[in-house]
């Protein structure tokens, strides 16, 4: 299982293999995780996340070029920096041991190109796993330019993806992804992908992760959960394609406060909005000032350690889950949010898999679902969100009768590992 991101790296991509690998042996597969040395990661390391990896799981670490050197040439991508180290480590393992399959997860994308070469040299089939699209909105409608607009670097990245992705997909023996929309988009870009076995393996959950919170001190610079205000929290990256969803929320907050004085009790807190551990670049506050609600909004852009993020979820009065303009988008904190047992307000594209999952597993008023289609949300949608915010301001307690966690048991890490094992059985056969 090739996963450049892995504990103690604190990024969201670390969880894909961390959750699946420990349960594979129950389904007949013994995994070896090939990842990178901790020195390869630019962000903050998370020892608490590392402690969640079972000691029995075999993890082999490869070296990577240090970012301090490669960034001088304008290259910081972890997949590029770690490519030769991962390749050398995989070839050494395959030369001396018998492996029945490879599993390569995207993001980052460039290690996916290891699959064709390793398959050709050692005859081992590989599964290409998509946590995010290889070619999406980046470089087309969003990028690293002013205000999140495409710039030359994002356009070059998109062009490379358009050229390189088919090379990996054509050689793959199966595809897995976190959503059906992601798989459909691959087939649309590369029609030959339709011939491959495919499986949707969502971002699952591990209930045991919450046991590590007992006695854990809250992360610094949080909120006072006892001050009588209603603290509604969002934990996760805010992507450029999610800015319009954020603007919908904050416009609705402005309307709710104008329509109902009780809504003045609301405080919206955003944690980890950057995709970097050490970041002070605000993404939410500029939009909050634009909407006239900055006095009720706080933002900590730097990514929280995983257990600190879970701690925020369990201490909040209510939780926010925000989608983006891209229908395939899924929320990595969806299942932790359900396990945190707090009221939830969600805003997602109507085609997102999150909507179907929540409608099957939960109901109002504990879980409130607002959907929108393509294009900017209209005034009716703003009014709908404002209504839900006014209701959250009443701070009603969580009602366990509104959430049926047994209905999402099929997305537990243990169950999803069995789904992956079924795909591995097919390619190995």
Structure confidence by residue, pLDDT tens digits, 360-369:
899 999 999 9
| CATH superfamily ID and name for 208-408 | Glycogen Phosphorylase B; (3.40.50.2000)
Percent of residues, the chain, with pLDDT higher than 90: 65
Q: For residue 398, how far is the Cα from the chain centroid?
A: 25
Residue 274 neighbours by CB distance under 10 Å: 19
Among 84-93, 320-329, 383-392, which is the least confidently predicted range? 320-329
> Going by C-beta distance under 8 Å and a sequence separation of 6 or more, which residues neighbour residue 188?
none
| CATH no., domain 12-204+412-428 | 3.40.50.2000
Range 383-410 average pLDDT: 92
> Going by C-beta distance under 8 Å and a sequence separation of 6 or more, which residues neighbour residue 429?
none
Tens digits of per-residue pLDDT, 42-70?
878 888 889 899 999 999 999 999 887 77
Angle between helices 180-189 and 152-171 (to 10 degrees): 90
In the sheet where 318-322 sits, what is the strand order?
A: 297-300, 266-271, 230-235, 318-322, 344-349, 367-372
Burial class (CB in 10 A: 0-12, 13-18, 19+), 162: middle
Has residue 221 got a pLDDT over 60?
no
Q: What is the rounded CA–CA span in Å between residue 52 and residue 342? A: 24
Percent of residues, the chain, with pLDDT higher than 70: 96
Dihedral sign for Cα atoms in the order 236, 239, 243, 244: negative
Mean pLDDT score of the chain: 91
Q: How far is CA 162 from CA 5, 138, 168, 296, in A?
A: 23, 12, 11, 42
Q: What is the DSSP letter of 40?
A: G
* pTM (predicted TM-score): 0.80
Has residue 356 got a pLDDT over 90?
no
Q: What is the pLDDT of residue 278?
A: 66
Q: What is the pLDDT of residue 85?
A: 97
Has residue 341 got a pLDDT over 80?
yes
Q: How far is CA 27 from CA 175, 369, 423, in A?
A: 19, 35, 11
Has residue 261 got a pLDDT over 80?
yes
Has residue 109 got a pLDDT over 90?
yes
Q: What is the pLDDT of residue 124?
A: 97
Tens digits of per-residue pLDDT, 279-306?
678 999 999 999 999 999 999 998 888 8
Q: ∠169-239-134 over CA atoms, to 5°?
A: 5
Task: Mark residue 296 as left, alpha or beta (left: phi above 0; alpha: psi -120 to 50; beta: remaining).
Answer: alpha
Has residue 217 got a pLDDT over 70?
no
For the chain, the straight-line distance linking the first and the last C-alpha, in angstroms and rounded, comes to: 18
Q: What is the rounded CA–CA span in Å between residue 149 and residue 145? A: 5
Q: What is the pLDDT of residue 300?
A: 92
Residue with tokens 């079924």: 422
Range 385-390 average pLDDT: 97
Tens digits of per-residue pLDDT, 3-34?
999 999 988 899 999 999 999 999 999 999 99
Dihedral sign for Cα atoms in the order 258, 343, 397, 266: negative
Cis amide linkage into residue 112, ω under 30° from 0: no
Q: What is the pLDDT of residue 209?
A: 87
Q: What is the pLDDT of residue 215?
A: 60
Q: What is the rounded CA–CA span in Å between residue 322 and residue 198? A: 27
Q: Is 230 helix (H, G, I), strand (E, B) or coil?
A: strand
Q: What is the pLDDT of residue 399?
A: 95
Q: Which residue has the higher pLDDT, 275 or 382?
A: 382
Q: What is the rounded CA–CA span in Å between residue 366 and residue 199? A: 31
Residue with tokens 């050494």: 92
Q: What is the pLDDT of residue 219?
A: 63
Has residue 216 got a pLDDT over 70?
no
Q: How confident is the model at residue 357 (pLDDT cuts 50, 70, 90)?
A: confident
Burial class (CB in 10 A: 0-12, 13-18, 19+), 49: buried
User: Domain residues of the chain, as ranges?
Assistant: 12-204+412-428, 208-408
């Amino acid at each position: 299982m090739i996963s450049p991101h892995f504990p103690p790296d604190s990024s969201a991509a670390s969880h894909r293999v961390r959750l699946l690998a420990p349960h594979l042996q129950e389904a007949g597969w013994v995994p070896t995780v090939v990842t990178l040395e901790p020195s390869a990661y630019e962000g903050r390391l998370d020892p608490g996340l590392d402690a969640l990896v079972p000691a029995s799981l075999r993890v082999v670490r490869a070296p990577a070029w240090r970012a301090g050197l490669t960034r001088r040439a304008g290259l910081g991508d972890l997949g590029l920096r770690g490519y030769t180290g991962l390749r050398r480590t995989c070839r050494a393992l395959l030369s001396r041991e018998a492996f029945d399959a490879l599993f390569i997860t995207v993001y980052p994308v460039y290690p996916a190109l290891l699959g064709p070469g390793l398959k050709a040299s050692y005859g081992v089939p590989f599964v290409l796993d998509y946590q995010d699209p290889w070619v999406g909105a980046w470089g087309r409608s969003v990028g690293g330019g002013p205000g999140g607009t495409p710039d030359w670097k994002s356009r070059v990245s998109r062009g490379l993806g358009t050229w390189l992705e088919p090379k990996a997909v054509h050689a793959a023996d199966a595809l897995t992804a976190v959503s059906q929309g992601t798989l459909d988009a691959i087939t649309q870009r590369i029609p030959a992908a339709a011939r491959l076995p495919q499986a949707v393996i969502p971002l699952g959950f591990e209930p045991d992760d919450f046991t590590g919170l007992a006695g854990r001190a809250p992360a610094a610079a949080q909120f006072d959960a006892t001050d009588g205000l209603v603290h509604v929290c969002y934990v996760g990256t805010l992507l450029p394609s999610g800015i319009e969803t954020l603007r919908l929320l904050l416009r609705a907050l402005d309307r709710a406060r104008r329509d109902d004085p009780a809504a003045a009790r609301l405080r919206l807190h955003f944690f980890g909005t950057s995709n970097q551990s050490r970041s002070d670049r605000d993404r939410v506050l500029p939009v909050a000032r634009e909407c006239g609600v900055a006095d009720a909004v706080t933002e900590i852009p730097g990514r929280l350690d995983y257990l600190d993020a879970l701690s925020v979820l369990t201490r909040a009065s209510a939780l926010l889950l925000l989608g983006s303009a891209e229908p395939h988008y899924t929320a990595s904190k969806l299942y932790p949010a359900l396990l945190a047992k707090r009221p939830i307000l969600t805003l997602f594209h109507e085609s997102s898999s999150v909507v179907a999952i929540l409608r099957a597993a939960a109901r109002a008023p504990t879980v409130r679902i607002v959907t929108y289609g393509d294009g900017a949300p209209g005034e009716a949608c703003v009014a709908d969100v404002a209504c839900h915010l006014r209701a959250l301001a009443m701070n009603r307690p969580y009602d366990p009768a509104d959430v049926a966690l047994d209905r999402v048991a099929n997305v537990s890490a243990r169950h999803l590992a069995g789904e992956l094992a079924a795909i591995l059985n097919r390619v190995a056969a």
